[in-house]
Structure 1
Amino acid sequence: MTFFGFLDFGLKELIETLLIAGALYYLYTLIRGTFAISVFFGLIIIFSVNAIVSVLGLTTINFILLRITDVGILALVILFQPEIRKLLYRIGHNTSFDRFFKTNESNQVIEEVISAVKSMSRVKTGALIVFARASALQDLVDAGHRIDAVVSSQLIETIFQKDTPLHDGALVIRDDRIVAASCYLPISQNPNISSVFGTRHRAAVGISETNNVFVVIVSEETGRISVSKNGSLTSGLTIQKLRKEMEAQIGKEPTENEVSFTETKKE
């Protein structure tokens, strides 16, 4: 099948072109905003110059550039290691596929966290709370301080008090329980993160870049509430907006008993 008289371009070629274009665009979204994008364009320039000198017959320059491109394959793996890891992780944890395995946190957990965040925001107590899927972040949990306790606002506030030994690092909630505290997260290297955000916010972005998690942050300097997911950071949330975000990301529909109880209370 040919669409153009002078080109052998049919449905198969169209599908291949769309797939390649989609893959390149997805790769661009991963490296956009990082130093890797500059390296990527630099390599394009080298390949372009190599093609030109080949046509002109400049054999010595062509030989040098070919050696550079040979080494460049190994350099690509090294330089793009974080982006490659992120790409492979997202392929393995595709969000459209992963939602069938989503573990919903109970609405009671959400209310307990919101109560703690509201209190800590008011007194400017820094906090970093990570909601993880079942069995996720096990390496970070093992490296932190194991707790395995019911989620309660009092416990969360106590953990993040400045005079407690567990206030540094993140608290991890998984399967409706606090599984660990004082967990240290990888720091994001994204240069687009504003300089007004400190280590706590960069750690939240860092863990959400390569893991399917939802992170709640309370600023120690301003008491500002932020959330991070999929490598993005949203700051300046009100308690009402925080509740909507948490319900959308980790909440679950109330059961019939919970609905009946809620309606009875309203009456």
Structure 2
Amino acid sequence: MQPIESLFDFNRTTLHMPQMRWPDFVEIFIIAFLVYHILVWAKNTRLWSLLKGIIVILVFILIAALFNMSTILWIVGRAFGIAFTAMVVILQPELRKALEELGRKKFFANILALGDPKTEGRFSDKTLNEITRACVEMAKVRTGALIVIEQSHPLTEYERTGIDVDGIVTSQLLINIFEHNTPLHDGAVIIRGDRITSATCYLPLSDNMGIGKELGTRHRAGVGVSEATDSLTIIVSEETGKISVAYEGELERAVDSDRLRERLRYIQNKRTIEAPVKHFARKAKVKK
């Protein structure tokens, strides 16, 4: 590896403008695209604070190079490899989450589905209406609820923490599960397709500092599972009776029945020739 001292040896460096070819422009565009998305991703993780610390260190190294502080540059050169390994260890949860998000992107599936005339979705319109009706009824009487709807990412690891139900989704069944003083009311319900697969499931809690302090464990669990998977989570607050929706690590609060149907219809993923799928553009950042 090139010694770090040589990177700051301005006296021996000759600046020249290389001849640009069209692959070079493509390469610059790809690098800019990647850097932009890495910064957007890093802004909501611990990496953002770490990057600011790294900038301070780089400024310090630049000053040391300008004043030819050879001892400091020697120490930096020897510690560079160790520091890089330490960063990977510290940021392991964030890096794992980023790779999972990249793996959930459906680049080729979306292309192959352009000519697909399927009308089936992940769940039926009846299931959509039953979920909405149950949430609205529970909100009226302030019955707390936590409903996780599976998409492409399997929720098997969370199902194992609960009790098997394997029942058709109905509003009566959902309301009965979350009724106070019943054996299944504590924890989350997981829905796959048109069936409730499991109840009383434990979910990972989010460490997102943007979530309001007034929100409890139920909301943090809803956001947490939406950060780890591509599921959509519906939270009914026991304290306020308001309905919230967590999706892709974002929480939208105080949604009404029409808005809830809109969110469910988006992940329903129904496609027809007459009405092509419309991409959901309205995403709210933990809004009240």
Return the TM-score normalized by structure 2: 0.79
Give the equivalent residue in structure 1 for 2:208. 190
Q: Is the 8 A contact 1:50 1:66 kept in 2?
A: no
1:213 corresponds to which residue? Answer: 231
Q: Structure 1 residues 199, 107: closer, same or farther in 2, change over 3 A?
A: same
Q: Is the 8 A contact 2:147 2:234 kept in 1?
A: yes
Give the fraction of aligned pairs with identical amino acids, expressed as a percent. Answer: 36
Matched residue pairs, number? 250
Is the CA contact 2:121–2:270 (under 8 Å) kept in the aligned structure 1?
no
In structure 1, the partner of 2:4 is none
Alignment of 1:73 onto 2:84: yes
Give the drift of 1:55.
4.3
The equivalent residue for 1:144 is: 162
Contact 1:103 1:134 in 2 (8 A): no
Deviations 1:107-135 (A, max 9, x none): 11111111110110001111111110267
Letter of the 2:83 counterpart? G
Q: Distance in 1 between matches of 2:183 and 2:37?
A: 42
- 1:150 Cα shift? 0.8
Deviation at 1:65, TM superposition (A): 2.5
The answer to which structure has the higher helix fraction is 1
Give the CA deviation at 1:103: 5.3
Q: Distance in 2 between matches of 1:135 and 1:212?
A: 6
Q: 1:29-81 deviations in whole A, cap 9, x for unaligned?
A: 22213332011221233234324423432121112323443222122112222
Counterpart of 1:264 in structure 2 is none
Change (3 A) 1:205 1:115: same
Name 1:91's counterpart in structure 2: 102
If the length of structure 1 is used for normalisation, what is the TM-score? 0.85
SS of residue in 1 equivalent to 2:54: helix
In the alignment, what sits opposite 1:156? 174
Q: Distance in 1 between matches of 2:51 and 2:33?
A: 17
2:31 maps to a residue whose letter is I
CA-CA distance at 1:168 after TM superposition: 1.9
Residue 184 of structure 2 is aligned with which of 152, 160, 166? 166
Q: Which runs of 4+ in 1 moved over 4 A?
A: 95-103
Deviation string for 1:204-259 (max 9, x for gaps)?
111111211111111111010111111111111111111122112226369xxxxx
Q: Which runs of 5+ in 2 are unaligned?
A: 1-15, 273-288
- Distance, in Å, in 2 between the alignment partners of 1:7 and 1:249 is 49
Task: For 2:32 and 2:228, locate their aligned partners in 1 and report how far apart those are by CA, in whole Å.
Answer: 23
Q: 2:33 aligns with which of 14, 22, 34?
A: 22
Query: Do the aligned partners of 1:106 and 1:251 also contact (CA within 8 Å) in 2?
Result: no
Q: Which amino acid aligns with 1:64?
A: I
Q: CA distance change for structure 1 residues 60 and 132 in 2, over 3 Å: closer, same or farther?
A: same
Tell me, what secondary structure is at the counterpart of 2:44? Answer: coil
> 2-side partners of 1:62 and 1:68: how far apart?
10
Q: Aligned AA for 1:29?
A: V
Q: Give the aligned partner of residue 280 of structure 2.
A: none
Give CA-to-partner distance per residue, 1:177-200, whole Å, 9 cap, x none.
101111111111111122222211
Q: Please say if residues 104 and 153 of structure 2, whose CA atoms lie closer than 8 Å, have aligned partners that are also in contact.
A: no
Q: 1:104 to 1:189 in 2, by over 3 A?
A: same
What is the root-mean-square deviation of aligned Cα atoms in Å? 2.3
Q: SS of 2:189's equivalent?
A: strand
* Cα offset, 1:156, TM superposition: 0.8
Superposed CA deviations along residues 128-166 of structure 1, whole A, max 9, x for unmatched, are 111102671111112221111111111111111221222
When residues 28 and 135 of structure 1 are mapped into structure 2, their CA distance, relative to the original with a 3 A threshold, is closer
1:47 lines up with 2:58 in the alignment: yes
